Amino acid sequence: MEHTELLTDWSRAQFALTALYHWLFVPLTLGLTFIVAIMETIYVKTGDTKWKETTKFWMGLLAINFAIGLATGIIMEFEFGTNWSNYSWIVGDIFGAPLAIEGLMAFFLESTFFAVMFFGWNKVSKKTHLVSTWLVAVGSNLSALWILIANGWMQNPVGMKFNPDTARHEMVDFWALVFNPNAVSKFLHTISSGYVLASLFVIGISAWYLIKKRDTQFARRSIIVASSFGLITSLFLLTTGDESAHQVALNQPMKLAAMEGLYDGEERAGIVAFGLLDQTKEIGDEKDPFHFSFEIPGALSFLGYHDLNAFVPGIDNLIEGSEKYGLISVKEKMKRGKIAVASLAAYKRYKKQNNMPEAQKALKAFEANQKYMGYGYLKKPEDAVPNVALSFYSFHIMVGLGTWFLVLFAMSLYLSMINEMHKKKWFLYLALLTMPLAWVAQEAGWIVAEAGRQPWAIQDLLPVGMASSNISTTSVMITFWLFAVLFTALLIAEVKIMLKQIKIGPEGH
């Protein structure tokens, strides 16, 4: 069993490494495609060649980022077959569908028109080129849609039925998968965060030009577009974040409790604006979870359930259960899960022996407890709790930075409108230093989403320990370090190429 746990840990680490590196590139593509499309639209409408020059500069940086993001994404999809073959077997009929559609529809759309967009200047008409640019933007976001539908299903599995004969989950309602509320909120929140990151990227680089007092007209124009786009999408990001938290409360209450460091559930629960967790706190003890904290009363109940008086269960309530609030203890879920696992094995055994009466009896016992089958593989109730510190701090970093980004966009737009931006060096440096924080917020958000739902590969149905491949731990460890070197090299290459292009500037470009 120790070998299995080690293998699972290294498989998780490798996938996390790939996903975190991949997500350094994707959000910039999601947002920059739309910013470029907006800039080109202004060029086509005004005929001002300075806007064409501006568009081509940002398009060049987009092309660099797009190519390297593609390489990491392909590796990540292959890992489902190499490191997570059990997962792919059990849910391949469901999980594979949106990924296939992403490849056939969205990826080919963006790839096809990307060539026209990047190489088609002076080869196709202005309007044709503009349409191609917009289709690249739409295609890249459609690509994100289908991937996030798949990920949303992992967080809230719907539209499927378990087949006891094949031991696989099979899709029965494709549209339930597509319109899964968790997937919809995740998609909107993710793409809007990408728009915010791209806006900060454009503002930060443009601020550098203003600090250096070069290409100032280009920089001012870029800042106006990025500030406007960033402010609008930041406001949208707030609303999608609210809906995402609501879906977490409904479908993943343990994740919500970990995000807030909430152990003892309460009505009118407050949100911890900031605080320092006590790492010695354990489930069921009387210790305060925080050394210190500042709380906004009632905000968590409203955020999670849109009701100031709602009860928000804490980690202790979810582990121990609560008759008053209709919560089943994890210990009881594990008991029912073990019955489900044993009944499924008995059903297959009796069916193989052609003992149909006993097979049907075992099948009924399985169906009565099927909902808790995943819990049957947990070793102890505490295994159902994710890493609280990782979830809590990641969530609060994400929210704190998101709030600051909104303020920065408002300030940037205001200073641009009164034509004072170039005079405020302190703000230019602030914008430049804020740019890398956009990636910190992105990675923190994904850590909340994925680490917060542990130990589940599929929420409540399949723990990660049962999802990994039966391969050599050593091979996973070796490939982990190979990928770490490869991805780091790709990242360094992207940064060096981008810095070179930025130093050349829009006129030299």
239 and 282 fall within a common domain: no
In angstroms, the CA 495 to CA 25 distance is 11
DSSP secondary structure string, 120-136? Answer: -TTTS-HHHHHHHHHHH
pLDDT exceeds cutoff 60 at 45: yes
Per-residue confidence (pLDDT) for residue 508, from 0 to 100: 63
The pLDDT of 215-241, averaged and rounded, is 95
Distance in angstroms (rounded) separating the CA atoms of residues 131 and 113: 9
Domain range holding 237?
Answer: 2-248+437-503
- Whether the pLDDT of residue 2 is over 50: the answer is no
Which of 368, 385, 402 terminates a domain? The answer is 385
461 in Cβ contact with 408 (< 8 Å) = no
Instruction: Let me know whether 228 and 258 are in one domain.
Output: no
Distance between CA atoms of 321 and 345, rounded to whole angstroms? 28
Could you tell me if 219 and 298 lie in one domain? no
Q: What percent helix, strand, coil does the chain show, rounded to 5?
A: 75, 5, 20
Three-class SS of residue 19?
helix
Same domain, 196 and 312: no
Structural domain count, the chain? 2
Torsion angle in degrees (nearest 10) through CA of 487, 492, 494, 499: 170
E-strand spans in 348-471? Answer: 456-458, 462-463
Structure token pair of residue 349? 């055994």
487: in domain: yes
Residue 406 falls inside a structural domain: no
% of the chain with per-residue pLDDT over 70: 99
Looking at the fold, whether 270 and 208 belong to one and the same domain comes out as: no
Q: Are residues 51 and 132 in the same domain?
A: yes
Q: What is the pLDDT of residues 256-283, one digit of tens each?
A: 999 999 999 999 999 999 899 998 999 9
Cα 116 to Cα 110: distance, rounded to the nearest angstrom: 10
| Cα three-residue angle 177-369-161, rounded to 5 degrees | 25
79-93 average pLDDT score: 87
The verdict on residue 350 lying in a domain is yes
- Kindly state whether residues 220 and 115 are assigned to the same domain: yes
Sequence-separated (6 or more) residues with CB below 8 Å from residue 423:
none
Same domain, yes or no: 330 and 455:
no
Interatomic CA distance for residues 397 and 399, integer angstroms: 6
Dist. CA 508–CA 53, nearest whole Å: 10
Which pTM was predicted?
A: 0.92
Last residue of a domain, one of 321, 353, 385: 385
Beta strands in 344-393 (DSSP E): none
Does one domain contain both 243 and 183? yes
Q: Provide the percentage of residues in the chain whose pLDDT is more than 90.
A: 78
Which of 385, 417, 448 delimits the end of a domain? Answer: 385
Is residue 135, in this structure, part of any structural domain at all?
yes
311-351 pLDDT, tens digit each: 999 999 999 999 899 999 999 999 999 999 999 999 999 99
Q: Which residue has the tokens 């723990």?
A: 463
pLDDT of 1 reads 42
Same-domain check for residues 273 and 241: no
Q: 353 and 262 in one domain?
A: yes
Give domain status of residue 233, yes or no: yes
The reply to whether 381 and 461 lie within a common domain is: no
